[in-house]
Chains A and B, each alone.
Chain A
Amino acid sequence: MSFFNEIGDMFYKTFIYENRYLYFLDGLKNTLIIALLAVIIGIVLGMVISLIKDYNKETKHLKVLTKICDFYVYIIRGTPVLLQLMILYYVVFKSIDIPILLVGILTFGLNSAAYVSEIIRSGILSIGDGQKEAAKTLGLSYFQTMRYIIFPQVLRSMLPALGNEFITLLKDTSVAGYIGIVELLKASDIVSSRTYDYFFPLIVSALIYLFFTFLLVRLMRMLERKLNHVRS
């Protein structure tokens, strides 16, 4: 009896007392904002990077830009995301007044872009040169070829890898607490420090992460099925 009492007591202390559930909601909100905006930055910038590299491969133009992109991907992939976050926060934006959440969004967006660009690049490679060559002899420009022929196919083949990247990104935002962003994990940490109990806050955070990654997996499956259907 006392065991259940204790659990009920803990639950009360963790969520109800002083409206502590608001910490979790706030943390979840920040986690989702960072992840969502970072995904958008990642896709757009990743696409630009992969296009620059592929255009360079096809035409030998844009040499300097390509070198910069290569270097960028090298740096991002070669260093931990927490370190990138700290450099952006403590070095780059040190003397600039910028919302801390924005630093998080930028870091994870810039980080994801490097990985997404590699995913897209390998997707383009997997399609081979044949269709590109056919498009060229038909008078289609590079960008027309990409837009109407290559990208629709790349999207389908890279969807699983892209889904993985989004899941990784969502989980990685948990390090944002390190520079003081109150995301989900940080929120549960704050609550723990009030209640001196780690069990409930941590387990609940884990369940919330699991729920959203599960949603992502389902969403990706749905998209995959839809795209496969189009091809018939």
Chain B
Amino acid sequence: MYEVKKLVKKFGKVEVLKKIDLVVENGEKIVIIGPSGSGKSTLLRCLGRLEKATSGKINFCDKDINKISKTHEIGMVFQSFNLFENLTVLENITLAPIKTKLMNKETAIEKAKDYLKKIKLDDKENAYPADLSGGQKQRVAIIRALMTDPKVILFDEPTSALDREMIEEVLNLMEEVAKSGITMIVVTHELNFAYNFATKIIFMDDGKILESGSPQELFNNPQTERLKEFLKN
């Protein structure tokens, strides 16, 4: 799915990503962990085409990521939800598939209502984002990303802006989504979730991938001092 080679990203003179190499296979659930400022989100944003690599290469489905035309194949969920404030829940979900002519209006609305029913928000289809709780917003954002049938969904700290009791509902939905077999890459600080959810965990620090492997390997048998220290906190 993804093939990342010697990815370097600089903001001005600051090198945020230092020659990252990474391969993501179809269907993998990857969780990226690491301290703040380690470059996790920047890496994810590069994979989501929101940042351009300073040097190095990212291939998506064997193609240069800058040359793919179907941008909706990479879905993304953000820490701050980023729902469209001027649109209702239903419009938020159906706008992109209709306007990009991915499906006609009837199909889109039907599909959207199905999804809303599944997450038990069908009574909110005409509400505006401002009327929803944080957890509800993020769940709407997740099904909005699902609507365009992406091949991968990137989650950028999806629960960091939420209260404790709302984190659960979002994580549950993510586990539900994972069952469909879709590839997911998640940046999060929820280590318990990471342990149960991930097929592979990546530990980043200072713009580099220090360790990667199964949750058991990393959590039970950390190799580097940095990871040991990180897990202690």
Show the binding face of A for B, using Cβ within 8 Å. Answer: 130-131, 133-140, 144, 148-149, 152-153, 156, 231-232
Which B residue sits closest to A148, measured CB to CB? B95
Residues of A within 8 A of B72 (CB): 137-139
Q: What is the interface of chain A mostly: helix, strand, loop, or mixed?
A: helix
User: Are A232's CB and B131's CB within 8 A?
Assistant: yes
Assess A139 versus B84: contact at CB under 8 Å? Given A144-B99, A231-B130, A232-B131.
no
Select from chain B the residue with minimum beta-carbon distance to A132: B82
Most B CB contacts (10 A, CB to CB) among A137, A140, A231 go to A137
Excluding A131-B84, A138-B148, A231-B130, 19 further A-B contacts by CB distance (< 8 Å) are A130-B78, A131-B85, A133-B50, A134-B82, A134-B141, A134-B144, A135-B96, A136-B71, A138-B72, A139-B70, A140-B100, A144-B99, A144-B100, A148-B87, A149-B95, A152-B86, A231-B128, A232-B128, A232-B131
Decide: A140 and B82 in contact? CB cutoff 8 A.
no
A114 to B100, CA, bound (A): 33
- A sample of 30 cross-chain residue pairs with beta-carbon separation below 8 angstroms, ordered by A number, consists of A130-B78, A130-B80, A133-B50, A133-B78, A133-B82, A134-B78, A134-B83, A134-B84, A134-B144, A135-B84, A137-B49, A137-B72, A137-B74, A137-B145, A138-B75, A138-B96, A139-B70, A139-B71, A139-B72, A139-B96, A139-B100, A144-B100, A148-B87, A148-B95, A149-B87, A156-B86, A231-B85, A231-B86, A231-B130, A232-B128
**Does residue B61 face the partner (Cβ distance < 8 Å to A)?**
no
Sorting the interface of chain B by its residue count into under 10, 10 to 19, 20 to 34 or 35 or more gives 20 to 34
Most buried by A among B71, B82, B83: B82
Is the C-beta of B102 less than 8 angstroms from some C-beta in chain A? yes
CB contacts (< 8 Å) of A149 on chain B: these are 84, 86-87, 95
Residues of chain B whose beta carbon lies under 8 Å from any beta carbon of chain A: 48-50, 70-72, 74-76, 78, 80, 82-87, 95-96, 99-100, 102, 128, 130-131, 141, 144-145, 148
A136 in contact with B84 (CB, 8 Å): no
Give the chain A neighbours of B82 by CB distance below 8 A.
130-131, 133-134
Which of A131, A137, A231 meets B71, CB within 8 Å?
A137
Q: Which residues of B contact A156 (CB under 8 A)?
A: 86
Find the B residue at minimum CB distance from A156.
B86
| Residues of chain A contacted by B48 (CB below 8 angstroms) | 137
Does A137 contact B99, Cβ atoms closer than 8 Å?
no
Taking CB atoms, residues of chain B closer than 8 Å to A135 are 84, 96
